[in-house]
Copies of this chain bind each other. A is one copy, B any other.
Amino acid sequence: MPVVKVYEKNEVIAEIEAEKSSNLLDVLQKKSVDIEASCGGKGVCGKCKVKVKKGQKPYLENLTPEEKSHLREDEISKGVRLACKVEVCEDLDVFLEKSSERANILSHFAVNDFEYEENIIVKKVILQKPSLDDQKSFELRLKETIGDGNLKVLPRTLQKLARLKDQEFFAVVYSDEIVDVKSSCLAFGLAVDIGTTTVVCYLVDLVQKRVVDFYSFINPQKKFGADVISRIDFTREKEEGLFILQKEIVDAINRAIQILTEKNSISKDDIYRVVFVGNTTMLHLLLGVDPQTIAISPFVPVFTESICAKPNDLGLEINPVATIKVLNSISAYIGADIVAGILSTQMHKSSKISLLLDLGTNGEMVLGSSSFMLACSTAAGPAFEGVNISCGMGAVEGAIDSVKIENGKVYFTTIGAKQPAGICGSGIVDAIAYMLKEGIINETGRFCDKNDTYKSYMREENGQQAFFITDSVYITQKDIREIQLAKAAISAGVKTMIEHAKITEDDIENVYLAGGFGNYINPWSAIEIGIIPKKLKSKIVPVGNSAVAGAVLVLLSRKMAYESQEIGRKVKYIELSNSQDFNQFFVESMMFENFSQEGEQKQNG
């Protein structure tokens, strides 16, 4: 069998024996090599670039038309290929182009000041010694000491009680159960937000009732497809696909648990509770539940209610008695992350009307107050995460994340102040906002031939006009069209909800911006290109990762868990694919009509 040697930064990281004629992307993914393939291996996204050599020579065998269109001449001459198009027929050396980088993710957190009612209790216990006149069991002594004779006890707890009964120890009580007895007084929980692109885990001290650490990572399922639809396709097209995706995410969460527990010098057994939020598809994949009906009309998920499970049901490496709660969702495209977001803003309890925009891989939005709640979702989001954009990339190190175009010059910053490797959502939105302002493009989104000030930044790329931010990072006419479609979808979604609620823009008092993209976007730019109505400019409140914040609330408070159920029942979902209003608004929102002289003062949110 041919052998594939995989190199990263000139080090061999894997040696894989491959079936003859197997697909290189398959071979790499099977061995969990971290490689992007947003389109799921269809040769469309061009992200699975690798340098392939046979001996010392570039491997050019059977170069496909897709590769020729995605790769530059100089790349091809070096042996760069799309892994999804390479057939492994002989021994090959494969060089990964970029090392995988830890995502630059939100860490701001503001729920530590919240007032929580008692939820988990850790109590010091010294049992009274028995005698012939007092023969009651050690279990009953324990319950009496805790002060509740009706508590349940598990076999594992009894096994440990038999060992600890003669010494001072600690009992961990949760709900109606003594879940553990042990010699330490530690009790931790995890709040996990599983995004399509990014996964965030917060480690929460359940006794101190505060967030103590967090860890985030790129969702490893990403290599099987960038968006929910291509992941669902993967479960349908690949035998065991569902199982593979579930294992990927569970393994990755277990690694995060390993890292967080080691770093904080606690044991995995100290973790007694996990709350998961995420979009509906991610939660189906987490539980190993087939999500196929989410992808096809009429878009029906298998479950939306909150689900309780045990670590063993998922293969999660924490205390086996721990309780796992998957928070309730609302519909196929309004997930538990949105329910958690609503919870963290408490907009459902306010008499004022609020708008919540969660702009990540998908764009979800909620409009409402204590008297009504509406939600809808558009699939227009991916462009804002760099997907389908020529030089687009996620918000990881090296991404251009902010741009300023003024006085004939272009300024930018990159994440981690690294060499620019591409551009992420917030950078694209900035660039387009300034291109509008500086007249580089007009309100229809077309490049203006008349603009001479920025002539030196303009040139053709692959037969299209393009604006070059650096030598290799540019924005094409097609990229601008993608952003126009995305912003139109969101804008139309908001307008549809406003229409449905029979209110006006003026009635909205808060605009909560959430999600990976929502949090980094420059509000001025978002208004400038028309994502957010201009009238709402002064009402924007960035809320960070409101999904994981809501998960922490549920982790720490039974009342909040109850509220999340109430939210699930209260929110009315509007299916946009079925909405006349939406289609009308979508067409109307395509233009960059928001642009005006008013926008000239840049606002920092």
- List chain A positions with a Cβ less than 8 A from chain B: 130-140, 152-156, 158-159, 161-163, 165, 287-290, 292-293, 297-305, 307-310, 312-314, 331-332, 573, 575, 577-578
Contacts and interface: CB of A to CB of B under 8 A. Distances in A.
Contact of A132 (B132, B163, B290, B575): B575
A603 B492 CA distance: 94
Nearest to A573: B135
A246 to B, nearest CB: 10
Given A162-B289, A289-B159, A303 B132 contact: no
Contacts of A297: 132
Contact of A302 (B139, B300, B314): B139
Contacts of A575: 132, 135
A298 B132 contact: yes
Contact of A131 (B134, B298, B301): B298
A162 B290 contact: yes
B307 A158 contact: yes
Given A298-B131, A300-B136, A573-B135, A163 B290 contact: yes
Nearest to A134: B298
Given A135-B575, A138-B293, A289-B159, A302 B152 contact: no
Contacts of A309: 154-155
| This chain's copy number in the assembly | 2
B137 A287 contact: no
The 7 closest A-B pairs by CB, nearest first: A162-B290, A139-B303, A155-B287, A130-B300, A137-B304, A132-B298, A158-B289
Contacts of A134: 298
22 contacts: A130-B300, A131-B298, A132-B298, A132-B299, A133-B578, A137-B303, A139-B304, A139-B305, A153-B303, A154-B307, A154-B308, A155-B288, A155-B313, A156-B313, A158-B302, A158-B303, A161-B289, A162-B292, A162-B293, A162-B302, A165-B293, A312-B312
Contacts of A133: 578
